Amino acid sequence: MQTVLFAGCEPEVAAGVDGRILAVGKGARAAAGRRAEVVRLRGRAWPGLIDAHIHLEGLADRHLTLDLTGTKSLNETLARISSWAKPLPKDAWVVGTGWYNDAWPDPAFPTSTQLDKAVGGRPAYLRRKDGHSAWVSTAALKLAGVGERRGILRETAMDPVHALVPKPSDAALDDAMERALTDLATFGLTGVHSMDSARGFGSWQRLRNRGKLPLRITYNLPLSDLPHAERIGVRSGWGDEWIRIWGVKAFLDGSLGSRTAEMLDGSGTQVLSQPDLVDLVERCVRAELNVCLHAIGDGAVRRALDALAPHREAWSSWRPRIEHAQCVNAKDMKRFARHGVIASMQPIHAVADRELADQLWPRVSGHSYAWKALERAGARLAFGSDAPVEIADPLAGLEAATVWRRKANWHPELALSRAAARRAYTAGAAYAVGMEKDLGTLRAGKLCDMTVIDQGRVVATIVGGRVSFLQTPGEASRRSSPKPRSRP
């Protein structure tokens, strides 16, 4: 191990053997010393970009199951399903994700009869892009003993079929997970806040033991695991700067696309009742576990704020978050700051949802994806992608949060400045998991995580003072074939 000098970028940065920053800018060369390893870079060195809301198992699944992302019609979708299913054994499951009927010429939901034909009578479980609905075949419904005829299951109704879907082996999962994490490093991500399950958590630990973890993972466990966390006494921040446990993720409502977002006008679905929500928050406060409350509609957002309001000063690193906050009533904007609640948002959703929001939320679209209004109201923002629901590329998210709104002329007054958007992906995301002393800015003593940008693309990703992705000069125009370097 030796010190490292990241040279040629602006600013230059020196990292110590402990992976922390020794000096930034003018003093970097002297601080690194003459024996330092020199990594030659170009462009601007930003504090490392962090994705504050991502589903790593979902990203790994894309390497394991049928990926229907981008299919443009029902017919194209059925053709892809049919050619995937054909070589499989007669009773094998057809498992996949990514179909999106709102992007089809006829946006009607597909049926089990159509699916039965495409999969040749096999059991099939195909999750919609947003994960809030599944399209299932008659054979799958029969195996699960579920009496739904049309073939679309929503929210918790998906569970009995999902439980039957065969799981990949640990080795297959790890291999797919490693590929997914490598992709994220090429996007310039130095850390993520994951919304996953124990399987993902196990996989990251195995990858780490093999030196194959290219970025930091803060893990938020599902509500169903809260009793286990309480029982073993694990608390927010347990772990280290590579893998740590933070909060409990719970769903208050569904999604815009699945028409299950809970709105103040009474439409949508309550996934978690208010008494259950209040109980959950109290338990988490007692257990010193943070909460990540999925709330998309303005009704769900208000309920989340109501439940969090009494706990303003629960403990020193109590950082409750509302995930998505896609529609927030004007009266609730200031409550985020007042109750110390973080708005964990994914700007890229606005690009995909814009037309649907205009159609389904015509009266409130001016309060939707309203990061600027929340910022003005004093809310702390943490940005992410919600991948694989949307693309994980943080530069696409930065674009969506800033210039896109003006270009698309969609409530352009809600566009953020570039500096504010970048803060939400760096310092804001670090604060949202209590890591603001270690991450979020380039300052001596902090962990040396950087995203280096040249001419609008990521040229290097540095995590803990080590290169996790470096674009080789010849590949400047071929973003799709990066050269990842796994950690030693």
Residues at the contact surface with Zn ion, assessed by CB under 5 A: 386
Residue whose C-alpha is closest to residue 326's, from 242, 272, 393, 390: 390
- What are the angstrom distances between the C-alpha of 301 and each of 295, 312, 325, 378? 5, 17, 6, 16
The residue among 9 and 49 lying less far from Zn ion, judged by its C-beta, is: 49
The residue among 39 and 158 lying less far from Zn ion, judged by its C-beta, is: 158
Q: How far is the CB of 348 from Zn ion (least distance, A)?
A: 12
Q: How far is the CB of 195 from Zn ion (least distance, A)?
A: 5
Asked if residues 94 and 140 have their Cβ atoms less than 8 Å apart, the reply is: no
The residue among 78 and 295 lying less far from Zn ion, judged by its C-beta, is: 295
The residue among 3 and 368 lying less far from Zn ion, judged by its C-beta, is: 368
Strand 133-136 relative to strand 152-154: parallel, antiparallel, unpaired?
Answer: antiparallel
The residue among 387 and 439 lying less far from Zn ion, judged by its C-beta, is: 387
Asked if residues 344 and 292 have their Cβ atoms less than 8 Å apart, the reply is: yes
The residue among 43 and 200 lying less far from Zn ion, judged by its C-beta, is: 200
Q: How far is the CB of 53 from Zn ion (least distance, A)?
A: 6
Asked if residues 311 and 285 have their Cβ atoms less than 8 Å apart, the reply is: yes
Asked if residues 362 and 320 have their Cβ atoms less than 8 Å apart, the reply is: no
Query: Sheet containing 21-24: which strands, arranged edge to edge?
Result: 21-24, 13-15, 4-7, 37-40
The residue among 298 and 386 lying less far from Zn ion, judged by its C-beta, is: 386
Paired with 38 in beta bridges are 5
Q: How far is the CB of 156 from Zn ion (least distance, A)?
A: 16
Paired with 193 in beta bridges are 218
What's the burial of 157, exposed, middle or buried (CB within 10 Å: 0-12/13-18/19+)?
middle
The residue among 173 and 292 lying less far from Zn ion, judged by its C-beta, is: 292
What's the burial of 340, exposed, middle or buried (CB within 10 Å: 0-12/13-18/19+)?
middle
H helices of 258-386, in order, are 274-287, 298-308, 335-338, 348-360, 371-376
Q: How far is the CB of 130 from Zn ion (least distance, A)?
A: 9
Paired with 126 in beta bridges are 96, 135
Q: How far is the CB of 389 from Zn ion (least distance, A)?
A: 6
The residue among 80 and 129 lying less far from Zn ion, judged by its C-beta, is: 129
**HEC secondary structure over 436-462:** CCCCCCCCCCCECCEEEEECCEEEEEE
Q: How far is the CB of 14 from Zn ion (least distance, A)?
A: 37
Going by the DSSP 8-state scheme, the letter that residue 481 receives in this structure is S
The residue among 396 and 444 lying less far from Zn ion, judged by its C-beta, is: 396
Is the link from the previous residue into 105 a cis peptide, with omega within 30 of 0?
A: no
Paired with 67 in beta bridges are 97
Residue whose C-alpha is closest to residue 321's, from 299, 350, 352, 289: 289
Q: How far is the CB of 305 from Zn ion (least distance, A)?
A: 19
Q: How far is the CB of 131 from Zn ion (least distance, A)?
A: 7
Q: How far is the CB of 198 from Zn ion (least distance, A)?
A: 17
Q: How far is the CB of 253 from Zn ion (least distance, A)?
A: 13
Residue nearest to Zn ion (CB): 386
Region class of 144: left (phi > 0), else alpha (psi between -120 and 50), else beta = alpha
The residue among 138 and 258 lying less far from Zn ion, judged by its C-beta, is: 258
Angle at 262 between CA 425 and CA 380, to 5 degrees: 25
